[in-house]
């Protein structure tokens, strides 16, 4: 049997990929996080972590295998960078919900908060990743994608019917506002996934009650981001029209709550 040795450039590329993967693992999977992953595996949440789907300054999302299914594992970095870009209202909400003040404790509370809000949205039939569990700085949730990889962001997806996307967003955001009584606070085509012709809302930890003093302002800002994107695709809609379509005028009568 002939043995084909890799060429020098191929060997260099392989080493560079391995180095990048090691650097990525070191950034996210410190000793404490590895212990958390191990405990989640022992709980039966998943069998193995496969590969990164998306990474950023605050954390990363990885695909994991759970039997014959896939799951998404969101790992938050432990440090002040996680909160550096968060708006003041989101930090205020978090501090009201927890007595801890150290970075690790706040991040654990933030992870728990995202899990709770995902559950609330799932109950309201808003299309979000279904939450499966959480521990410390790791959140386990439904994987949006297939064996090929994760679903693209709405911003990067090929959209055949922009009007259908608009109607879908009106339905999903409307359910969030009217049924879950929540306002996301950071919605845009960048943190909305597009899978099998439908939008999936993600990154919900900073959501606030629709009775929050800034809820209407936050909702209009979110929907203006969508409207700007949709107008580029030929959908004639403004942020104000979008807000009216999802029921923003009912925010003042929404029940108070977390």
Catalytic positions are 186
The pair phi, psi for residue 72, each rounded to 5°, is: -105, 135
The CA–CA distances, whole Å, from 232 to 99, 171, 227 equal: 45, 21, 9
For residues 23 and 193, what is the distance between their CA atoms, to the nearest angstrom?
27
The pair phi, psi for residue 257, each rounded to 5°, is: 170, 170
- Look-up of token digits 């999936």: 200
For residues 22 and 19, what is the distance between their CA atoms, to the nearest angstrom?
5
For residues 124 and 137, what is the distance between their CA atoms, to the nearest angstrom?
25
Q: Which of 191, 127, 186 is closest to 153 using CA atoms? A: 191
Determine which helix (DSSP H) or strand (DSSP E) holds 208, and give its type and residue range: strand 208-209
For residues 10 and 146, what is the distance between their CA atoms, to the nearest angstrom?
29
């Amino acid at each position: 049997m002939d043995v084909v040795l890799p060429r020098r450039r191929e060997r260099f590329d392989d080493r560079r990929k391995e180095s990048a993967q090691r650097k990525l693992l070191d950034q996210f999977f410190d000793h404490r996080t590895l212990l958390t992953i191990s405990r989640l595996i022992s709980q039966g949440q998943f069998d193995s972590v496969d590969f990164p789907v998306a990474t950023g300054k605050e954390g990363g999302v990885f695909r994991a295998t759970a039997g014959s299914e896939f799951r998404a594992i969101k790992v938050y970095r432990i440090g002040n960078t996680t909160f550096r870009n968060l708006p003041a209202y989101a930090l205020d909400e978090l501090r009201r919900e927890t007595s801890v003040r150290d970075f690790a404790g706040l991040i654990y509370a933030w992870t728990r908060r995202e899990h709770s809000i995902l559950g609330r949205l799932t109950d309201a039939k808003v299309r979000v990743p279904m939450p499966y569990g959480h521990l410390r700085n790791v959140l386990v949730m439904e994987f949006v994608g297939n064996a090929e990889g994760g679903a693209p962001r709405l911003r990067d997806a090929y959209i055949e019917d922009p009007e259908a996307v608009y109607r879908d967003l009106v339905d999903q955001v409307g359910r969030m506002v009217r049924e879950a009584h929540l306002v996301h606070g950071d919605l845009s085509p960048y943190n909305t996934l597009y899978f099998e012709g439908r939008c999936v809302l993600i990154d919900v930890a900073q959501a606030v009650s629709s009775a929050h003093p800034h809820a209407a302002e936050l909702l209009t800002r979110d929907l203006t981001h969508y409207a700007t994107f949709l107008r580029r695709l030929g959908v004639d809609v403004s942020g104000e029209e979008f807000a009216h379509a999802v029921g923003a005028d009912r925010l003042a009568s929404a029940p108070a709550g977390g």
